[in-house]
Amino acid sequence: MSPRIVEIIYQMIAFLFAISVHESAHAWTASRCGDPTARMLGRVSLNPIRHIDLFGTIILPLVAAISGIPLLGWAKPTPVNPRNFRHPMMDDILTSVAGPVSNFIVATGALFLLGAISLSSDSGRAIVMQVAHGPYNGIASDSALVPLAMLLFMLMIINIVLAVFNLIPIPPLDGSHVLRHFLPDSARMVFDRIGFFALLALVYLGGGLLSGLIRPFLRFYVSMLVKF
C-alpha cells in the first residue's frame, strides 16, 4: 500500500473520530442544560454513523484528502431546541463551544500520548520526531509504535483544525452562537442571513486567512511535542 493511501486512510479515521466527539459533546452538553432532543435521537455517541452527512463527512473530506488540500468538512447538525434550556443564552453558548472544546481535549490527549511514546525509548523518540516533521515520509522502522504515532499525530492535527475552524464567529459555525447573542435584533437577522455566504467566501477565497488562524495553534502543539 502506497504511503499516500495510508495517509488518506489515517486522515479519514481521525476525521470521523473528531466529528463524532464534536457532535457528541454538543448533544451531551445540550442534555445537561435541559434539552434532551439530541440525546433521545442517539446523538450522544462516538459511532460516526450517527453523525455522518454524506457530502460533508464523506465526499468533501475524501476529495480534500486526495487533492492534498486541508481536510475540512462537517457532520450532520446536532438538533437543539433552545426553548428547553434553563438559561437560554448561556446554555446555547455552552452547548456551542462544547464541540470545539472537546476537539482541543482530544488533541491534547493525543499530544500527551505521543509524548509518552517519545519518552519511552530512544527509538520511540526518533519515531515521534519523524512523524512530527513529516509523518508519511517513509519511517524506517517495523515497530508497532509507527502506525500508532502516525494515527495519534493525525488525530492531534485534525482535531486542532476542526476546533479552530468551528470557533470562527461566522454562521453556522459554533463561534457564531457566542457572537450573535451580543448583537441587536436587526443586526442578528442580517448576521444569520449572510453568514453562510461569508463562510463560503472564507473557505474558497480566504485560504490565507484561514491558514493564518489555524497555523499558530498547530505550531504550538508541534512545539510542545518536540520538547518531550
Q: Each residue of 117-142: pLDDT tens digit?
A: 999 999 999 999 988 886 555 555 67
For residue 46, give the C-alpha cell.
462516538
pLDDT at res. 209 = 82
pLDDT at res. 227 = 85
Rounded distance, CA 113 to CA 119, Å? 10
What is the number of domains present in the chain? 1
pLDDT at res. 110 = 98
pLDDT at res. 136 = 55
Written in H, E and C, the secondary structure of the chain is CCHHHHHHHHHHHHHHHHHHHHHHHHHHHHHHCCCCHHHHCCCCCCCHHHCCCHHHHHHHHHHHHHHCCCCCCCCCCCCCCHHHCCCHHHHHHHHHHHHHHHHHHHHHHHHHHHHHHHHHCHHHHHHHHHHHCCCCCCCCCCCCHHHHHHHHHHHHHHHHHHHHHHCCCCCCCCCHHHHHHHCCHHHHHHHHHHHHHHHHHHHHHCHHHHHHHHHHHHHHHHHHHHCC
pLDDT at res. 55 = 85
User: Which ranges of the chain have pLDDT less than 50?
Assistant: none
pLDDT at res. 187 = 86
Q: Global pTM?
A: 0.91
Q: Which domain holds residue 199?
A: 3-226
pLDDT at res. 205 = 73
- Residues with a known catalytic role: 23
